[in-house]
Amino acid sequence: MTITIALAGKGGSGKTTVAAMIVKYLIQKQSAPILAIDADPSANLNMVLGVDLDWTVGEIREDMLKQVQSSVTAGGAARGSIAGGMSKHDYLDYEIRGSLIESDRFDLIAMGRSEGPGCYCAVNHNLRDILDTLSHNYPYVVMDNEAGMEHLSRRTTQDVQHLFIISDPTHRGVVAAERIVDLKDELAINIENAYLILNRVPGEIPPPLQERIDAIKVPFLGTIPADDEVMKFDYNGTPLLELKDDSPVYQAVAAMLDQTLGL
């Protein structure tokens, strides 16, 4: 069975850092490769994992639609196919598998840009089938989402076992997390467990902020401390996977995963 771990939070909350720590944890806990999915249009998960990104699913989708439109204009391809007679599904499957970044212990695929104008229902249906099939080859999938969780809401991934909602230690951040909690109940996808995590916490949580956290309708999993070492890595462009195991940030995330995953 594939376990999918998804992250969501407003921009700047540090969810991509947490995603990298989850990948690091899973690499250490089990031997099979992990699939990391970057579902944030800014597409920077590859940087914290230390791999290059050449091609995203969004670019593949738009390129395919351009080919279809060109063929139709020229009176060529039949509906549902592109030049050369290849079906849309087969084209997407071939290109997406070709865009997969493979490393020793994890693979990465980036969703990339949001949809342009036009109807994407059939394309999203094909994407969901392809990504679900691909995901089933891995014991764990780690999916870094944008705040609106667009790719989850369009069901371009399988059901989620664990959703970690990341907030910074501000009132605005916690309000954004609260909106994500409300949004998750509107998605046409099964989310088994959801948790709130407070990131970059410099010390004790102020009582007014704690009251707001306590009012959120998901369990509060804990805090991740602010850490100068992570900032140095970000400044220098050093992959966060290279953080030492005794890093306070990694130790905090690992403790949360011990509690939720039981590995």
Average pLDDT, the chain: 85
Nearest to 205 by CA among 231, 164, 170: 170
CA separation for the pair 14, 152 (Å, rounded): 19
Residue-level pLDDT at 115: 58
SS3 state of residue 164: strand
Residue-level pLDDT at 77: 46
DSSP 46-64: HHHHT------HHHHHHHH
Write down all domains in the chain, each with its CATH number in brackets. Answer: 3-261 (3.40.50.300)
Q: Which of 34-48, 99-113, 134-148, 221-235 has the highest mean pLDDT?
A: 221-235
**Angle subtended at Cα 150 by Cα 144 and Cα 154, rounded to the nearest 5 degrees:** 115
